[in-house]
Amino acid sequence: MPLHPQVRAVAQAGGVPPPLTVETLPAARAGFVASTLAEAGPGTPLADVSDVDAYGVPVRIYRPAPGAPVVFYLHGGGWAMGDLDTHDPLCRYLAALSGAAVVAVDYRLAPEHPFPAASDDVDAAIAWIRREGEALGLDTTRIAIAGDSAGAHLATTAARRWRDRGQPFAAQVLICPITDHTAPLSDVDSPGLLEQGLAFCWDAYAPAGVDRDQPDLSPTSADLTGMPPTLVITAEYDILRASGESYALSLAEAGVPAVSVTYQGMIHGFFRRLARFDSARQAVAQVAANLRAELS
Catalytic machinery residues: 149, 238, 268
**Cα angle 289-293-296, degrees, rounded to a multiple of 5:** 130
Q: Count how many residues are written for the chain.
A: 296
Are the C-beta atoms of 72 and 146 separated by less than 8 Å?
A: yes
Q: From the CB of residue 70, how many other CB atoms can be counted at a distance below 10 Å?
A: 26
DSSP code at position 84: T
What letter does residue 135 receive in the DSSP assignment? G
* Strand ranges for the chain from DSSP E: 48-54, 57-63, 68-74, 101-105, 138-148, 172-175, 230-237, 258-267
Beta strands in 2-100 (DSSP E): 48-54, 57-63, 68-74
- The answer to whether residues 201 and 78 touch, using CB atoms and an 8 Å cutoff, is yes
* Cis bond before residue 116 (omega within 30° of 0): yes
